[in-house]
């Protein structure tokens, strides 16, 4: 079974731009969660989607948004990028029976200049 895939793997943007990241979960997994990881801050939970609905949300500003499609693929969007948004963005998928037994993708490393 293929693992979680994320695209793109690396991205360089400038302040003020917007970016969209994509995540394809493991086949059969309907829950997708997004995390931001920065040095010294650990993993910060962004949001979780299940069946095309946002089920949980972390404490991030409204510039961070997401959505999930009927095939469980998810996208995350960040508008009006700031330097502090530079981070590794991780996506994790899980089943509906064990939503917090999460399997992670390789991440998208975003650099904002």
Partner 1 sequence: GIQVEQSPPDLILQEGANSTLRCNFSDSVNNLQWFHQNPWGQLINLFYIPSGTKQNGRLSATTVATERYSLLYISSSQTTDSGVYFCAVERIAGNNRKLIWGLGTSLAVNP
Q: Which residues bind partner 1 (CB under 8 A)?
A: 33, 37, 40, 42-43, 45, 56, 88, 90, 92, 98-104, 106-107, 109
Structure tokens at 94: 């899980």
Shortest Cβ distance from residue 83 to partner 1 (Å)?
20
Nearer to partner 1, 11 or 43 (CB): 43
86 and 72 Cβ atoms separated by less than 8 Å: no
Structure tokens at 34: 């997004």
Helix, strand and coil content of the chain, in percent to the nearest 5, comes to 5, 55, 45
Nearer to partner 1, 79 or 95 (CB): 95
Shortest Cβ distance from residue 50 to partner 1 (Å)?
10
């Amino acid at each position: 079974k293929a693992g979680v895939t994320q695209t793109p793997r690396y991205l360089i943007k400038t302040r003020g731009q917007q970016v969209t990241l994509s995540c394809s979960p493991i086949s059969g997994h309907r829950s997708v969660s997004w995390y931001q990881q920065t040095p010294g801050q650990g993993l910060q939970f962004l949001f979780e989607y299940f069946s095309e609905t946002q089920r949980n949300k972390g404490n991030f500003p409204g510039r961070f948004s997401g959505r999930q499609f009927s095939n469980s693929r998810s996208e995350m969007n960040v508008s009006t990028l700031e330097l502090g948004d530079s981070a590794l963005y991780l996506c994790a998928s899980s089943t509906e029976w064990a939503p917090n037994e999460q399997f992670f993708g390789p991440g998208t490393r975003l650099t904002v200049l």
